[in-house]
Amino acid sequence: MSRVQSLTLAMAGVALLAPSAPPATAPQPRTEPAARRTAPAPAAMPAEVRADPAMRRTGPAPAATASAEVRTDPAPAVTPAEAHADPAMRRTAPAVTAPAEVRVDEPPARRTAPVSAADLLAKVRTCAPVSRGRYREDQGAKATVPVCGTRDAVFWKADMDIDCDGRPGLRCNARTDPYFSSSTAFAQSDGRPLSSEETPYVVVPAPSAVWNHRSHGVRGGSVVAVVYRDRVRYAVVGDTGPADIIGEASYAMAESLGIDPDPRSGGTPSGVTYIVFKDSRVTPIEDHRAAVTEGERLARRFVDTDD
């Protein structure tokens, strides 16, 4: 055997005696925590979250989007005072409107306040007579009462006798009133006489040489303000009486003023002021609510007008 063959055999034996190397394997994939494998990359945090570590500790940063619609919390309510004080809030907050009943341009309360007895009496303190003579308050008494006038009204100051004439009722009839008459000078819209018990009305003297009420804008349905003590009540002209006597009104008129309405013993001997507004009229004549509404309007105009 040659030396070359011996050396080759020797090296083969060494190779057989040496431990076999493990077979080569492919590189294994790198293992990572579960969160890193599944969680997407965190979205960029808003500036205020990045700046505040406390906010980062309490929870994941909310996804930041450029769309304003992503907001889930409503904008804080803006009070009227804040919106008024802060111009920036006025630009973004809804308009604050005052309640409908608040009127900043409402004039003084005098417009709606009722006219008082003192207001009316102050306007009729002095008398410019429009009658050509004077009237008696009762049959056989001296004639002492003139009819006075202003541009808008005629008036007189007298007693109040009870007129129970008209449609009969429980309190006004031939048994309760010895002078009862079942008719009135002016009728209701249905053609029947007025009811003294139901309709507050005033009696004016029948036309005569002393005074003709028609020539001064007074007629059936004319609006009257009647003042007694501190009370003001509104009525209509509803009947005519004797041509020489003044100072009479219906049962309902006396009752509304706190005057005894009994046709035999009621009434009051003095202290009643009758103010008839010229060229006024309530239709239908028996509509007392309309008389009050129109009376209040005319009385207000009367006291507010400078004669």
Does 186 reside within a domain?
A: yes
CA 112 to CA 107: how far, in whole Å?
10
Does 244 reside within a domain?
A: yes
Does 137 reside within a domain?
A: yes
- What is the reported pLDDT for 105? 53
- What is the reported pLDDT for 113? 86
CA 211 to CA 139: how far, in whole Å?
18
Please list the pLDDT of the chain residue by residue as tens digits (307 residues).
544 444 444 454 444 444 444 444 444 545 444 444 444 444 444 444 444 444 444 444 444 444 444 444 554 554 544 444 454 544 444 554 555 554 545 455 445 689 999 999 999 999 999 999 999 999 999 999 999 999 999 999 999 999 999 999 999 999 999 999 999 999 999 999 999 999 999 999 999 999 999 999 999 999 999 999 999 999 999 999 999 999 999 999 999 999 999 999 999 999 999 999 999 999 999 999 999 999 999 999 999 998 6
The tokens for 139 are: 């049959």
Nearest CA-CA partner of 138 in 22, 264, 226, 242: 242
Does 94 reside within a domain?
A: no
Does 136 reside within a domain?
A: yes
Owning domain of residue 159: 116-304
Q: What angle do CA 188, 193, 197 make, to 5 degrees?
A: 95
Does 98 reside within a domain?
A: no
C-alpha to C-alpha distances, 116 to 94, 155, 226, 234, 291, nearest whole angstrom: 46, 17, 11, 12, 17
C-alpha to C-alpha distances, 234 to 47, 193, 273, 274, nearest whole angstrom: 77, 20, 12, 10
Does 177 reside within a domain?
A: yes
- What is the reported pLDDT for 214? 97
- What is the reported pLDDT for 172? 98
Q: Is the CA virtual torsion 220, 195, 269, 117 positive or negative?
A: negative
- H-run or E-run covering 85: helix 80-85
CA 61 to CA 41: how far, in whole Å?
12
Structural domains counted in the chain = 1
Does 55 reside within a domain?
A: no
Task: Give the predicted TM-score (pTM) of the model.
Answer: 0.65
